[in-house]
């Protein structure tokens, strides 16, 4: 599994985009009128948005408090130091947990049985392999320090005990969150808007013109956000 993880680590930045595109594969519904009644569509919308937003908040909290420099080197696993503060005090892979929740949430939002039953398990297997490859590197580099860390912090399940103390004891760098996340947020928010508008005719009462205009409006709004953050980053006015 470590070898599989090393392979997928090279292409991990594409995983989110590819898996996002798979949301639009035709699929039987996860929630249907037959079992949940005439207003069944509110179930995937509310549950899906709650899960996916939770994922982005976890990623935001992680990046804003103690961003980890584990971007790889020469397309291989690499880390400058062992980061155990911030959200890393509560779970070893908070960025990956955030990604999983974000994709799980949009899968529920898309009301896609295939995505939840097939794509998400494949995604989890790939992430497990990547994490095992990263842990193998960290164990070899940091030795007992990493072993002690793994004894106190779970790989996947967050322990929220003391989370308020974590936030109160550190400065949340919101600019770093935006700079590091604006690419992901653009894709994520655009996908949410398109799913809501094109999956659920109830939102626009079947008015295709209104639906299309709203879709264009939201994409333009998110594009303005994207290029604004990009400008502040590239101009040096905001530093990560």
Q: Residue by residue, what is the 3-state secondary structure of 154-185? A: CCCCCCCCCHHHHHHCCCCCHHHHHHHHHHHH
| Pair 158, 190 in one domain | no
| Pair 107, 89 in one domain | yes
What does 82-102 look like in DSSP terms, one character per residue? ---SGGGGT-S-HHHHHHHHH
Last residue of a domain, one of 138, 170, 202: 170
| Pair 226, 128 in one domain | no
| Pair 89, 205 in one domain | no
Task: Band the pLDDT of 110: cuts 50, 70, 90.
Answer: very high
Sequence length of the chain is 240
What proportions of the chain, in percent to the nearest 5, are helix, strand and coil? Answer: 70, 0, 25
More confident residue, 8 or 174: 174
| Pair 113, 159 in one domain | yes
Over the chain, what is the mean pLDDT?
Answer: 90
Mean pLDDT of 131-160: 92
Looking at residue 11, its pLDDT comes to 73
| Pair 50, 123 in one domain | yes
Q: Does pLDDT of 52 surpass 90? A: yes
Q: Does pLDDT of 76 surpass 80? A: no
Mean pLDDT of 24-31: 91
Looking at residue 3, its pLDDT comes to 82
Q: CA torsion sign, 61 to 43 to 219 to 19?
A: positive
Q: Please report where in the chains the tokens 């808007």 appear, as a residue.
A: 193
| Pair 179, 143 in one domain | no
What does 40-69 look like in DSSP terms, one character per residue? TTHHHHHHHHHHHHHHHHHHHHHHHHH---
| Pair 52, 71 in one domain | yes
Mean pLDDT of 125-144: 92
Contact between 144 and 57 under an 8 Å Cβ cutoff? The reply is no
Residue 145's domain is classified under what CATH number?
A: 1.20.120
Mean pLDDT of 197-220: 95
Last residue of a domain, one of 144, 170, 196: 170
Q: Does pLDDT of 68 surpass 70? A: no
| Pair 74, 162 in one domain | yes
* Domains held by the chain: number: 2
| Pair 68, 187 in one domain | no
| Pair 212, 146 in one domain | no
More confident residue, 51 or 137: 51
Task: Band the pLDDT of 71: cuts 50, 70, 90.
Answer: low
Q: Does pLDDT of 5 surpass 80? A: no
Mean pLDDT of 45-60: 97
| Pair 113, 198 in one domain | no
Tell me the residue range of the domain where 201 lies.
173-240
Looking at residue 21, its pLDDT comes to 84
Last residue of a domain, one of 141, 170, 199: 170
């Amino acid at each position: 599994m470590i070898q599989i993880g090393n392979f997928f680590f090279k292409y991990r930045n594409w995983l989110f985009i590819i898996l996002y595109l798979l949301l639009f594969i035709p699929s039987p519904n996860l929630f249907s009128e037959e079992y949940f009644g005439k207003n069944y569509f509110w179930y995937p919308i509310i549950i899906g948005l709650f899960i996916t937003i939770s994922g982005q908040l976890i990623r935001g909290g992680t990046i804003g408090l103690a961003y980890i420099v584990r971007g790889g080197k020469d397309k291989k696993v690499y880390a400058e130091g062992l980061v155990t503060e911030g959200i890393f005090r509560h779970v070893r892979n908070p960025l990956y947990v955030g990604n999983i929740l974000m994709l799980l949430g949009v899968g529920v939002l898309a009301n896609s049985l295939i995505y939840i039953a097939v794509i998400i398990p494949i995604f989890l297997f790939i992430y497990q392999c990547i994490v095992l490859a990263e842990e193998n590197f960290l164990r070899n580099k940091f030795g007992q320090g990493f072993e002690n860390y793994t004894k106190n912090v779970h790989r996947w399940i967050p322990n929220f005990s003391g989370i308020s103390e974590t936030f109160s004891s550190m400065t949340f760098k919101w600019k770093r969150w935006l700079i590091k996340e604006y690419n992901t947020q653009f894709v994520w928010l655009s996908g949410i808007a398109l799913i809501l508008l094109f999956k659920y005719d109830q939102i626009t009462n079947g008015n295709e013109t209104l639906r299309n205009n709203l879709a264009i409006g939201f994409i333009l709004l998110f594009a303005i956000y994207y290029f604004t953050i990009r400008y502040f980053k590239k101009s040096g006015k905001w530093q990560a």
